[in-house]
Structure 1
Amino acid sequence: LRANGRANNQQIAETLGLTATTVSTRIRRMEDANQLRVVAVSDFSAHGFNVLLRISVSVDGRPASDVANELAALPEVVAAHMVTGGYDIDMLVALHDFDDLSDFLLDKLSGVHGIRTLTPAIVVDIIKYQFDVAPIEGKA
């Protein structure tokens, strides 16, 4: 499914040397256990998002989790993480253009109470974008 999300159970079964029933049962079991979710993944630039921005955030005067939840609620934020190290929050932001960048940094983020510092970094090239969270490893 990772290689071809549109593959049907029969195609997967043929590739793996299993029956379609076995594949169906395993997929259903993984879905029921919340180990697998089949979703469509869209391309940023295909939807007009030409500015991808990583922003590291330091928080002061408010719980970092509250700030992170408020930031995550912004539609431009496609990922937000609580992190260890020099920052409290790391987020990925998708914007249409540099006018949106200015509006986002100066208007939206300035209204979020508790942000001490922001360290934005514009993504200049995506080397790897693996949207599945957990790697699937085969058993020996």
Structure 2
Amino acid sequence: MTDKKIKFSELDERIVEILKKDGRATNQRIASKLDISTSLVASRIRRMEQNGLMRLVTVADFSAFDYNVLLPVGVDVKGRPANEVADDIAALDEVASVQLVTGKHDIEILVTLPNLAAMGDFMLNKLSNIDGVLSLDPAFAVDIIKYEFDVAPI
């Protein structure tokens, strides 16, 4: 069995760009914009999804769901592999992202919380109780200048 790598074509890129701007764009609207058939749009989207090149997701505004605190946290690990600690952290509902990193910390996470009162409970009773967490270095996001949920530019 050969491991054939599927790549984006120029048409795929144009379809994805339209969907990035309007995730609710219908196949008919995309076809009209690109001057191609609706069935071609549908088949290209299906192919990209089946091959793991694209997935459609809904991204909600933090504040729309009363999450008013965005908290980046550096995590230092001791006595346990960082990837195992990262898996445990990723299981917490409040955690939006987890990255194994090089530099000052072993793990960087992004936490969303409804308010500052919830921060103490989260940091003291959840995050710091995970086996292998040595120390936490939180920083307050005082303003969000840019936040785009593009996993990868095409």
Same-fold call, TM cutoff 0.5: yes
Candidates 109, 114, 118, aligned match of 1:96: 114
Candidates 82, 87, 107, aligned match of 2:125: 107
State the match for 1:134 in structure 2.
152
| Count of residues in Structure 1 that have an aligned counterpart in Structure 2 | 136
Larger relative helix fraction: 2
Q: Which runs of 4+ in 1 moved over 4 A?
A: none
Mapped to 2, the partners of 1:94 and 1:14 lie a distance apart of 39
Q: Which runs of 5+ in 2 are unaligned?
A: 1-18
State the match for 2:13 in structure 1.
none
More contact order relative to length (CA 8 Å, sep ≥ 6): 1
Residue 24 (structure 1) aligned with residue 42 (structure 2): yes
Code of the aligned partner of 1:133: V
Mapped to 1, the partners of 2:119 and 2:142 lie a distance apart of 14
Mapped to 2, the partners of 1:11 and 1:29 lie a distance apart of 19
State the match for 1:51 in structure 2.
69
Mapping of residues 70-81 of structure 1, within 5 Å: 70-81=88-99
TM-score (normalised: structure 2): 0.84
Candidates 80, 83, 103, aligned match of 1:62: 80
Shift of 1:117: 2.0
Q: Sequence identity, in percent? A: 51
TM-score (normalised: structure 1): 0.92
